[in-house]
Structure formats: C-alpha cells, structure tokens
C-alpha cells in the first residue's frame, strides 16, 4: 500500500477518486473511520475526529483488507506503507481552496501554517525512504493523478 498524504486542501481525495476510476483500490481513511466507528473522540475546536493510526492499522489487518492506496493526511502513519506521495500546494492558493469549504478562520490559518512549514512532508521524510512530493498548485487533478500513478508503478516494481 502507498500513502497519499498532504495538508487538507492539497487535493488528496480528488486525486484518489481519479486513481480509483483508473482501477486502483483506494482506502479513504476518513470514510473508513466513520464506517468502523474508529474515532477516539471529537476535537470540538477543530471540528474533526480524533483518531489513532495504530487502531486503524489494527482494523485493516483484522479485516484482511488490501489496498493500493491509503488516502488521508495521516495515511503515512499506517503500518505496511511502501511509499508515500505527499501533495503540496502554494499556501496562498491553499488558503483560497480552504476558504471555499467554509471552515473557520482559525482552522484555515492552522492548516495554511502547516503547509508553509512543510510539516507533513517533514514528518514523512523522518519515517519513510520512498517519498515523492508533488506541487499541485499549477497542475490539474488529472496531472497530479498521473504523477502518483507513475510513483505507484515504480514502488510496486521495486518492492514486489
């Protein structure tokens, strides 16, 4: 399984949907957490679920699930990840994408700052060797999906 990660708004879900249409199996972690009741609590301030990646990995194993791609900003924390694609975005553009979601200004600011410092890309490089960063700012979702697909093919040919 490869992880498709990045700050919220960088285009993970949209990219994953395109790859699904191309025939790749995708585990959308946020949906999986809701379906399986896997959350630990609710972060009221950020209006999101609190999850433990270990528990998500445990449930994937218990159910014997196998996927090509795990999609979530925490997917790089799952067990059995063979490579990680990190989606990036220019912070100014990211801000506009997040504003369209109607999120509160504090949550938008937090995520834009996360992208400015490159927090997720840094976390990923601390944990994994096979990493690609894709700047989505001036690419269409289809172009991003093609780059992720090329990476998947490389990873699967290297590690199978």
Ligand X SMILES: Nc1ncnc2c1ncn2[C@@H]1O[C@H](COP(=O)(O)OP(=O)(O)O)[C@@H](O)[C@H]1O
Q: Which positions lie near ligand X, rule CB under 6 A?
A: 6, 8-14, 97, 100, 136, 139-141, 144
Total interface residues for Mg ion by CB under 5 A: 2
User: Least distance (Å) from ligand X to the CB of residue 14?
Assistant: 3
Which of 3, 13, 147, 158 touches Mg ion (CB under 5 A)? 13
Tell me whether residue 21 or residue 61 sits nearer to ligand X (CB atom). Answer: 21
Tell me whether residue 13 or residue 57 sits nearer to Mg ion (CB atom). Answer: 13
* Burial tier of 61 (Cβ tally within 10 Å: 0-12, 13-18, 19+): exposed
Contact 155, 69 (CB under 8 A): no
Q: Please give the backbone phi and psi of residue 76, each rounded to the nearest 5 degrees, phi first.
A: -70, -10
CA 115 and chain centroid, separation: 13
User: Least distance (Å) from ligand X to the CB of residue 140?
Assistant: 6
137: contact with Mg ion by CB under 5 A: no
Reference 149, options 21, 57, 28, 7; nearest CA is 21
User: Least distance (Å) from Mg ion to the CB of residue 12?
Assistant: 5
What is d(CA 83, CA 128) in angstroms, rounded to the nearest whole number? 7
Interhelix angle 91-99/105-117, rounded to 10 degrees, is: 150
9 binds, among ligand X, Mg ion, none (CB under 5 to 8 A by kind): ligand X
Interacting stretch for Mg ion, rule CB under 5 A, among 7-15, 31-39, 118-126, 129-137?
Answer: 7-15
User: Least distance (Å) from ligand X to the CB of residue 94?
Assistant: 9
* Burial tier of 56 (Cβ tally within 10 Å: 0-12, 13-18, 19+): buried
User: Least distance (Å) from Mg ion to the CB of residue 158?
Assistant: 27
Question: Would you tell me which residues interact with Mg ion (CB under 5 A)?
Answer: 12-13
């Amino acid at each position: 399984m490869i992880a498709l990660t990045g700050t919220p708004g960088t285009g993970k879900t949209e990219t994953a949907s395109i790859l699904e249409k191309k025939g790749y199996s995708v585990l959308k972690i946020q949906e999986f957490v809701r379906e399986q009741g896997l959350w630990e609590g609710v972060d009221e301030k950020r209006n999101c679920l609190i999850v433990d990646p270990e528990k998500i990995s445990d449930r994937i194993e218990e159910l014997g699930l196998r996927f090509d791609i795990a999609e979530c900003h925490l997917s790089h924390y799952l067990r059995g990840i063979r490579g990680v694609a990190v989606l990036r975005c220019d912070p100014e553009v990211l801000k506009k994408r997040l504003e369209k979601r109607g999120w509160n200004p504090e949550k938008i600011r937090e995520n834009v700052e996360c992208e400015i410092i490159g927090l997720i890309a840094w976390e990923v490089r601390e944990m994994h060797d096979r990493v690609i960063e894709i700047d989505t700012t001036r690419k269409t979702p289809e172009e991003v999906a093609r780059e992720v697909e090329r990476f998947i093919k490389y990873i699967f040919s290297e590690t199978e």
